[in-house]
């Protein structure tokens, strides 16, 4: 009779332990799934980037205040670390050497004063 009383609490403890341990994995799976759903909803992947540049007459003037065309470079990069480390002069003089390992695509647009320059950059 004594072993019968002892079996019931032991079985109850085993059942509770099984539920608790399986619940840990279930919670982790739910957390992982909700993270992937949140990233899919809130962090949209851009397939095509449409840019529209417009140059005002006060931009890029010469000594006589005559507005000049402006050259705009658009780079698609794998990572931005090298770009963030580089200063303007380095990017201007040695852009290929500075960004060579990260450049996926490059587009150059001349924007004339009072006109639009519209490059279309496809993300890869």
Tokens of 83: 């770009």
Query: What's the CATH superfamily of 48-122?
Result: Type VI secretion system, lipoprotein SciN (2.60.40.4150)
Spatial distance between the Cα atoms of 115 and 111, rounded to a whole number of angstroms = 7
Q: Give the range with max mean pLDDT: 2-16, 20-34, 72-86.
A: 72-86
- For Cα atoms 65, 70, 74, give the angle at the middle one, nearest 5 degrees: 155
In the chain, what are the domain boundaries? Answer: 1-43, 48-122
Spatial distance between the Cα atoms of 13 and 100, rounded to a whole number of angstroms = 62
Spatial distance between the Cα atoms of 60 and 41, rounded to a whole number of angstroms = 41
pLDDT of 7 higher than 50 = yes
pLDDT for position 106: 87
Q: Give the range with max mean pLDDT: 3-12, 25-34, 48-57, 81-90.
A: 81-90
Going by pLDDT thresholds of 50, 70 and 90, the confidence category of residue 22 is low
pTM score above 0.85: no
Q: Under a CB-based contact definition with an 8 Å cutoff, are residues 122 and 45 in contact?
A: no
Q: Under a CB-based contact definition with an 8 Å cutoff, are residues 63 and 44 in contact?
A: no
pLDDT for position 48: 76
**What is the DSSP code (8-state) at residue 110?**
E
pLDDT for position 89: 92
pLDDT for position 105: 87
pLDDT tens column, 44-96:
666 777 778 787 878 888 888 888 888 888 888 899 898 899 998 998 899 88
pLDDT tens column, 89-123:
998 899 889 998 999 988 888 888 776 666 554 44
């Amino acid at each position: 009779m004594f072993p019968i009383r002892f079996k019931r609490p032991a079985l109850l403890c085993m059942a509770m332990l099984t539920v608790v341990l399986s619940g840990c994995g279930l919670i982790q799976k739910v957390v992982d799934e909700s993270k992937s759903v949140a990233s899919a909803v809130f962090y949209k992947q851009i397939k095509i980037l449409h840019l529209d540049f417009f140059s005002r007459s006060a931009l890029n003037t010469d000594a006589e205040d005559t507005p000049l065309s402006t050259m705009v470079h658009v780079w698609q990069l794998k990572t931005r670390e090298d770009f963030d480390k580089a200063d303007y002069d380095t990017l201007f003089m040695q852009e290929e050497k500075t960004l060579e390992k990260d450049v996926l695509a490059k587009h150059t647009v001349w924007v004339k004063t009072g006109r639009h320059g519209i490059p279309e950059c496809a993300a890869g």
